Amino acid sequence: MDHPIGFLCKVFVAGVVSTFTMTLFVDLLSRLFSDRFYVPSILGKTLNLKSPGFNTGFGTAIHYAIGICFAATFYYLWFHFPDWANWWGVLLAGAICGGLAVIVWRLVLYAYPGVLVKDKGVYLFSIFCGHLVFGLTAWLIWQWVVRQ
């Protein structure tokens, strides 16, 4: 077993890299449609803050903190239940997190109708798929970490 600080560093890196990959995927997917979905900015706008720069910065911090928590949850699951550390387990974990994210975002979009995104369906679909990408990225990093 890794030293706890070393393990926390790996979880931190996995959370940041996986969140970045997911955010990039959602951004690229949104370019296929006419509406840009930059999740940290949208997250910041939900806070109704006055400064757009602060919205994006604070939204980014929250977004990455949630990603680190998801990575920690995944790593806990994969460490204690190694049978889940396979393609199907990873996709299931990503789908569960994606489903939770869709529920939360649906509530947020209901509270801010027509303000945050134009096409809610496309946005929610991209959020769900983004969490699958998050799970796969975290798992690939896990595979690399386990082999170290």
- What confidence tens digit (pLDDT) does each residue in 69-109 have? 999 999 888 888 888 888 888 999 999 999 999 999 898 88
pLDDT at 34: 65
Considering only CA atoms, give the Rg of the chain: 16
* Euclidean distance between CA atoms 39 and 47, whole angstroms: 13
Residue 39 tokens read as 């999740």
pLDDT at 53: 60
pLDDT at 144: 82
**Residues of the chain with pLDDT > 90: what percent?**
34
Count of alpha carbons within 13 Å of 39, Cβ hemisphere only? 29
pLDDT at 128: 95
pLDDT at 29: 84
With vertex at residue 40, the alpha carbon angle to CA 38 and CA 41, rounded to the nearest 5 degrees, is: 70
- Residue 144 CB coordination number (10 Å): 11
Full-model pTM: 0.85
Any alpha helices (H) in the chain, and if so which ranges? 4-31, 39-45, 52-80, 87-111, 120-146
pLDDT band with cut points at 50, 70 and 90 for residue 147: low
pLDDT band with cut points at 50, 70 and 90 for residue 122: confident
pLDDT at 64: 92
The alpha carbon torsion through 84, 94, 137, 121 (nearest 10 deg) reads 160
The alpha carbon torsion through 58, 60, 61, 63 (nearest 10 deg) reads 120
Which tens digit of pLDDT belongs to each residue from 18-48?
Answer: 999 999 998 888 888 766 677 777 777 776 6
